[in-house]
Amino acid sequence: MNISIDEAMIHFYGRSRDTFKMPNKLIDEGYKVFCLADHGYVFDFRMISWSKLTPEVEDIDNLSRTSSIVFSLIISLPYKYLAFNIYMDNFFSNVLLFLKL
């Protein structure tokens, strides 16, 4: 089964401390979400905030906050029953994350 992990933006122009501005994206302002998806269906996601830590994500030794979010999405998969090919951007790729996986 092929799974992808990517970031997505939820369009929002109101006032909030939790929004992100990313001028190079199609949706340039809004809430940032990391998604675990396959064939256009989102299986799991994590909302990202400037002001608060994501409650479903625990800090893992030597991993950045972004890598910890990616790791928490991957361990939410039912890996005991299926084999997965995980695809992600270069932004998420680092040696410490791959060693932890």
Q: 20 - beta bridge partners?
A: 30
Question: pLDDT tens for residues 16-56?
Answer: 888 888 888 888 889 889 999 988 899 889 888 776 666 66
Query: What is each CA distance from 74 to 3, 8, 69, in whole angstroms?
Result: 9, 17, 9
CA distance 90 to 44: 20
Domain count, the chain: 1
Average pLDDT of the residues of the chain: 83
- The residue with greater pLDDT, 52 or 64, is 64
- Residue 60 confidence (pLDDT): 74
Domain with 51 in it: 2-100
From CA 33, how far away is CA 56, in angstroms rounded? 13
In the predicted structure, residue 78 carries a pLDDT above the cut 70: yes
- The average pLDDT across 68-77 equals 85
Judged against a pLDDT cut of 70, whether residue 80 lies above it is answered with no
